Chain A
Amino acid sequence: MKIYISATLRSFFGRNAGLEARGNNINDILQELIRIYPDSEKVLKSEDGKPAAFIRIFAGEEDMTDPARHGETLKEGTELLFLPVIAGGSPHVPLVSDERRKEVNLDDKEIERFNKHLLLREIGVKGQKRIKAAKVTVFGAGALGSPVIQYLAAAGVGSIRIVDPNEVRLEDLQCQVLHSQRDLKRPKAASAKDKVRNINRDIEVTAENLTPDAGNVMSLIEGSDLVIDCSDNFRSRYIINDACVLWGIPLVFGAVYQFEGMVSVLNHENGPCLRCLFPEPPAPGLVPTCAEGGTISPLSGIIGSIQANEALKLIMGVGETLSGRLLRVDTFGLRTDLLRVKKNESCRICSAKADITEVEDFDYEEFCGLKQDENEIPVEGFTVEELTHRIESGDPLTIVDVREPHERAILRFPGAKVIPIGQLARRQNELSPDIDTVFICRQGKRSILAINTLREAGYKGPMYNLKGGMDAMKDVIFSNEGGWL
């Protein structure tokens, strides 16, 4: 059988280009070659008996490298070719460089503490040092922030900045496992900082009790290797994304709603940013935040844990990440989808055609094209006190509850007429135009939508909105109704 050896492999075959070997299948020929050229054994049959990763064996034009085919009888006159693989892939460059890794050391305590990381070949001492040298900013110390902050701290991330403007409320404890009952009414950022220090005192942790805006976001992320978005509203998400793109800092994005969550790695290795995926946020009020729409307790634990896992891989430059991919998890049907997401070549901030050059403190409502028309009649509203007074004084008043059935089940408004927004126009004759009508919803936003809907439908009676909705109402009356679980 005629054999051709590529010039790149000849050193293993006594520098010969063309050879003859006896045998009519590849197994026999390999044995014969190894007998004549013992050096070739490590190429033809490496450790596990397979050809080395860099070699291909062709019979004529056909790739016969797979050992399963080595027993096949070869046609008379076939030339057997031994060629190299010419292939490779881009490296994942760790977010923490070699220089910075070399500047940190692990002491005996840390070697004990991080033993389970050190045992992993993909992490080892080098990876753990990168984690220790890393600086990460986490926006949001709520549902997603809870697992993210705890796992970053447990994994040994050296410097963590936590940004959250809110205080811990009772209803947060259902899914925000970072906080406990004793933290009620404390700023979440401070509570989170305490938890990090309980896990590991050596971590440099800063708490910022702030809402990210155009004025502060650049300084909040400056110097960070990585930013993790655990916020729960579109305004923050776009501000954080824009700042990360402008600073060139990768972003681990996560979001949860009811039973569904999504995670992605944005602005990394020339991948897409948030605006590539979602050029514009949905209109305000259309998509409830999880504070309004609800979320099942462990969902944020699942999504946040994936965010923390992605963060560690990015810091070390190992494994496959969600850059250019969006993972969607449905915990109700227990399904996951991995969607490929592409960079938008006309993205307003990260493409060659970008026209946004600084973080703008954009008006969310204007951004969505929903800013109230100047000519539009403004909606009048009652405060909780004004409404209470009206009810107590016995004035004639129609109260319309536009909330969804499951919201009403939590807390009913006694004596209110129930009309979902979708039916208002059709059922307007149930309202009396001579009597003041007050519309209520959970937060006083959908009720404005309800009033505008009726106006468009031609309803002429006086209409008012309950400012702050049922949320504002709950501390004033109904306290004996329970319900706010």
Chain B
Amino acid sequence: MTSGRRSEAVAINTDLYWQLGEHARLSYPNECCGILFGSVERSDKNRVAVVIPGDNLREEPGSHYGIDPMTLYRAEKTWAGRGYEVIGFYHSHPDCEAVLSEEDELKMVPEQIYLILSVDKTGCRGLRAWRKKDIETDAEELEVKRA
């Protein structure tokens, strides 16, 4: 970054990045959503190690997303045994920029990484990452490293 302040970054490898893009593309014009896991052993909370696609249960899936919290509960139990822990979530914005909406920001869980994919009928157009440090603070953008 050009500013003196060191910005935190989220790392994701090319395969997983492609997997997210495909999920967004195939769900278009609806929003896709899912859960991101990181490896406990590597103790790197900023590296995506596993991507679990979720079902979008909202009534207006073209402009909203929602995953059953019980899906997360089961996924956490399954993946904890293999050494992975939730580090955040992802969802797509069809025909829209990859920025947080009011509802996105309101429902953000502090410290979790939120990846947003911008997608249109031609495919995935970009990926941006957001995080809220604490309940009271505003969300900030994180750099995305594809490595």
Contact = CB atoms under 8 A, between A and B. Distances in A.
A87 B64 contact: yes
A93 B135 contact: no
Interface string B50-79: 000010001000111111011011001000
A9 B110 CA distance: 8
Given A91-B93, A91-B99, A270-B29, A84 B72 contact: yes
> B-side binding surface: helix, strand, loop or mixed?
mixed
A397 B91 CA distance: 77
Interface in A45-68: 46, 52-56, 58, 61, 63
Given A11-B111, A81-B73, A83-B72, A89 B64 contact: yes
A90 B109 contact: no
A476 B8 CA distance: 82
B109 A54 contact: yes
Given A52-B135, A269-B95, A89 B109 contact: no
B21 interface: no
A86 B64 contact: no
Contacts of A55: 109
Given A58-B69, A84-B69, A269-B95, A6 B86 contact: yes
A46 B136 CA distance: 11
- Of B69, B86, B102, chain A has the most CB atoms within 10 Å of the CB of B69
Contacts of A7: 76, 80, 85-86
A8 B37 CA distance: 11
Interface in A262-291: 269-270
Given A88-B64, A90-B64, A61 B70 contact: yes
Interface in B20-49: 29, 31, 33, 35
Contacts, number: 111
Contacts of B82: none
A62 B27 CA distance: 29
B2 interface: no
B16 to A, nearest CB: 18
Interface in B98-140: 99-104, 106-112, 121, 135
A433 B102 CA distance: 74
Given A6-B72, A6-B73, A84-B72, A91 B102 contact: yes
A360 B144 CA distance: 46
A54 B132 CA distance: 12
B96 A54 contact: no
Contacts of A56: 69
Contacts of B135: 42-43, 46, 52
Q: How large is the interface on A (under 10, 10 to 19, 20 to 34, 35 or more residues)?
A: 20 to 34
Nearest to B58: A87
B143 interface: no
A230 B35 CA distance: 47
A11 B69 CA distance: 18
Nearest to B98: A91
Interface in A1-50: 4, 6-9, 11, 17, 42-43, 46
Interface string B80-95: 1000011001010111
Given A54-B109, A58-B70, A86 B97 contact: no
B13 to A, nearest CB: 21
Nearest to B135: A42
Given A7-B76, A61-B70, A53 B102 contact: no
Contacts of A88: 64-66, 91, 100-101, 103-104, 107
A89 B62 CA distance: 9
A81 B69 CA distance: 10
B143 to A, nearest CB: 19
A84 B112 contact: yes
A7 B86 CA distance: 6
Given A84-B69, A88-B101, A90-B101, 20 more contacts: A6-B72, A8-B72, A8-B111, A8-B112, A52-B135, A58-B73, A61-B70, A83-B70, A83-B73, A86-B54, A87-B58, A87-B66, A88-B91, A88-B104, A90-B63, A90-B96, A91-B97, A93-B99, A270-B62, A270-B94
20 contacts: A6-B72, A54-B106, A55-B109, A81-B69, A83-B72, A84-B112, A85-B69, A85-B107, A86-B33, A86-B72, A86-B89, A87-B58, A87-B66, A87-B67, A89-B65, A89-B102, A90-B62, A90-B101, A93-B99, A270-B94
